[in-house]
């Protein structure tokens, strides 16, 4: 359990104190630095966050593969980190990146290429 002094330090201090969930992960929201477009949401474990900070390349934890991976290591569609921010209680990060090629594994520029356009939940391709 986090004490109130830990919470105050986490919320107001300038030390990186990420709060990983019970699975050891933190949510990563990724936007394109130039346009501000939302590209993807992924997860990082402690190693992925450390490697991202140290290398300037975006690293993630694949929940489906159970493995650490550098974005673009097989596709060539890399992400160079322009800025990395952490939210107020340090349980989510925001990466602003320079994206090379599509961000989504489907080949779409963004993973958010469909919109809900009806009360029935019908999807429509956008962007």
Task: Give the residue extent of every domain in the chain.
Answer: 4-125
Residue 5 confidence class, pLDDT cut points 50, 70, 90: low
Write the class of the CATH domain 4-125.
Answer: alpha beta
Tell me what the mean pLDDT of segment 50-73 comes to: 96
| pLDDT reported for residue 31 | 98
In three-state form (DSSP H/G/I as H, E/B as E, the rest C), the secondary structure along the chain is CCCHHHHHHHHHCCCCCCCCCCCCCEEEEEEECCCCCEEEEEEECHHHHHHHHHHCECEEEECCCCEEEECCCCCCCCEEEEEEEECCCCCEEEEEEEECCCCCCCCCCCCCCEEECCCCCCEEECC
């Amino acid at each position: 359990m986090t004490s109130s002094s830990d919470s105050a330090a986490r919320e107001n201090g300038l030390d990186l104190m990420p709060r990983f969930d019970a699975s050891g992960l933190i949510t990563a929201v990724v936007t394109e630095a130039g346009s501000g477009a939302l590209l993807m949401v992924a997860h990082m474990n402690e190693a992925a966050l450390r490697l991202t900070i140290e290398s300037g390349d975006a690293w993630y934890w694949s929940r489906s593969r159970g493995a650490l991976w550098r974005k673009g290591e097989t596709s060539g569609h890399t992400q160079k980190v322009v800025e990395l921010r952490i939210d107020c209680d340090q349980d989510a990060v925001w990466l602003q990146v320079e994206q090379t090629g599509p961000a989504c594994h489907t080949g779409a520029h963004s993973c958010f290429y469909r919109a809900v356009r009806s009360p029935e939940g019908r999807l429509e391709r956008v962007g």
